[in-house]
Amino acid sequence: MDYREELEPVLGDDKLARKPAEDNENRGKYNGRRIANDLNSIYSTDLLPARDGEEATKQFLQELVNILLAYICKSMKPGSKVLDFHHPHQLKEGLEGFSLDLPDRPENLEQLLVDCQDTLKYGVKTGHPRFFNQLSSGLDIVGLAGEWLTSTANTNLITYEISPVFLLMEEVLLQKMCGIIGWSEEEGDGVFSPGGTMSNLYSVLLARFHRFPEVKTKGMNGLPRLVLFTSEHSHYSVKSSAAVLGIGIDNIILVKCDERGKMLPAELESSIASAKAKGLVPFYVNATAGTTVYGAFDPLNSIADICARHGLWMHVDAAWGGGLLLSSRHRGKLQGIERASSVTWNPHKMMGVPLQCSAILVKKKGLLQSCNQLNAEYLFQPDKQYDVSYDTGDKSIQCGRHVDVFKLWLMWKAKGSEGFGAQVNHCLENAEYLYCKIKSRPDFELVFNSKPEHSNVCFWYLPHSLRSMSPGPERDRRLHAVAPKIKARMMEGGQTMVGYQPLGDKANFFRCVFSNPATQREDVDFLLNEIARLGHDL
Ligand SMILES: *Cc1c(COP(=O)(O)O)cnc(C)c1O
């Protein structure tokens, strides 16, 4: 289909006046007007912009912006589909002229625009108000503008000489975030990383280096057997860090949680004692502020007391919960976070910043630099004629680093800290609304019966056939099969998306999360009604 056909209802006819079909004698399939007579001739054999291709460049990008705008406007409409699901083999075989195969001969720009449109068409509209599947959702328009600008600038966050503005913006944001955590001006350092998993990896790396600085040059040989502690509800990236850093997954001690998913401090205390009794060397505790599935907040002050008593590095994984620090109504849930040695905070989750945007924040200044710097001489020349303390790229374990800070900086300008706070409050109100709705309906059941602390709401749908059954293994077995069946139907229908998982001994349950400020109560109602509609006959 011609890419303009989908645009017209959104953008209006005047923008995309169609020309008669004789305009494209060579293209058969796409019977729209040409982008510009000269555009394809300039680009068709050589897709690099010609020096004098300014007009063509403008026209091509203008057309692309039209496609993106049409997609964005459609994503914002609750009645439109969230996804147009196809199986992998269907996409691989090619759909309606959309082929993933790469050609030997260059294709023309008209075709590229069609490909852009198809790419969006068969993808998932994560900015849709009825997309509840992931912790990152929504499409912030200012953030998007920031991402566009970032790609246009196309630079690398390594040294001041190639990223003067962005490096200073990174510093401003890190200071702001450290201040919000509650660290003093003498404290606080950090770096933006490619996601919470990486930020958590940094935390274990730093904790180990802090205790055993020689590990940077000598490796793990000669070190005692190190162990680290994290709760059974914590994110799997803590495991991955131990594996990547050569500590080993077997040297992670999983601490028990209460039924709400919060780490039990007494269990932490006794796990540390029994590890020490076995001759193991504890060095690190991960506390989670906002667990991925339940949205639980570990008791940070009690954990900090234990870490202080045993001289352990305390990391707070606030990848999901960090955004609550910006809400005066909810920040109390992270009380004690200022006592952490390091914090992971993902603005690309609760704050709605476009992917990716995550920070590792470190209380002790200079530690990141001494742990990671390698002074590559072709980048970090010490005799540069400017203040080289701004060549902060060597704090990172990457060389080249994507600029993730600009979109966050721009959004912060647009909303102010208060705007972010209001956004967080709105998402948590949606969660509370969903919780109340579920409580009032006989066809749904909560996984745990207390008001959500974060925006996660975990629940089962009970088809008629299960409602009268008494609790037990047979009911669990049947309940376990309900969510996957509903999910499959949901994907086919494409009207909404929500995730499910089992946890511990709990049968598959739905987890709804809110981080998209565009979501309203009617969308929450829609989700429950849609689940009931899809699952009533099971
Ligand atoms: C999402 C999440 C992570 C991982 O963050 P990514 O950016 O997806 O790598 C880590 N910890 C918690 C608690 C999370 O919810």
Q: Is 390 a residue whose pLDDT tops 90? A: no
Q: pLDDT (tens digit, 9 = 90+) per residue, 44-67?
A: 444 446 566 677 788 889 999 999
The answer to whether the CB of 292 is under 6 A from ligand 1 is: yes
* 11-25, 29-43, 368-382: least confidently modelled range: 11-25
Q: What is the pLDDT of residue 45?
A: 40
pLDDT in tens, 177-191: 999 999 999 999 999
Residue 445 has pLDDT above 60, yes or no: yes
Please check the confidence at residue 398 and state whether its pLDDT lies above 50: yes
Predicted local distance difference test score (pLDDT) of residue 382:
85
Question: Does residue 337 have a pLDDT over 90?
Answer: yes
Q: Do domains 156-403 and 413-535 have the same CATH topology?
A: no
Cα distance between residue 330 and residue 424, in whole Å: 9
Q: Atom of ligand 1 at shortest distance to CA of 356?
A: 7
298 close to 288: Cβ distance less than 8 angstroms:
yes
Least confident residue range of 105-114, 401-410, 416-425 = 105-114
Residue 317, ligand 1, Cβ within 6 A: yes
Return the pLDDT at 49: 60
Q: What does the alpha-carbon distance between residue 7 and residue 320 come to, in Å, rounded to a whole number?
A: 36
**Does the beta carbon of 288 sit less than 6 angstroms from any atom of ligand 1?**
yes
**Burial class of residue 299 in the structure, from the number of CB atoms within 10 Å of its CB (0-12 exposed, 13-18 middle, 19+ buried):** middle
pTM: 0.92
Distance CA 155, CA 157 (A): 7
Residue whose CB lies within 8 A of the most ligand 1 atoms, among 202, 233, 237, for a mutation test: 237
195 lines ligand 1 (CB under 6 A): yes
Question: What pLDDT digit, counting tens, does each position of 85-136 carry?
Answer: 999 999 999 888 899 999 988 888 888 999 999 999 999 999 999 999 999 9
Check residue 520 and give its pLDDT: 96
Contacts of 133 (CB under 8 A, 6+ apart): 124, 126, 497, 498, 499
Ligand 1 atom nearest residue 237's Cα = 10
Please tell me if the CB atom of residue 336 comes closer than 6 angstroms to any atom of ligand 1. no
Q: Domain locations in the chain?
A: 3-125, 156-403, 413-535
Nearest CA to ligand 1 atom 6: 196
Distance 318 CA to ligand 1 centre (A): 8
Looking at 3.30.200.20, 3.40.640.10, 2.60.220.10, 3.40.228.10, the CATH number of the domain 156-403 comes to 3.40.640.10
Strands 226-231 and 252-255, bridge-based pairing: parallel
456 lines ligand 1 (CB under 6 A): no
CATH of domain 413-535: 3.90.1150.170
Q: What phi-psi label fits residue 190: left (phi over 0), alpha (psi between -120 and 50 degrees) or beta?
A: left
pLDDT at 11: 45
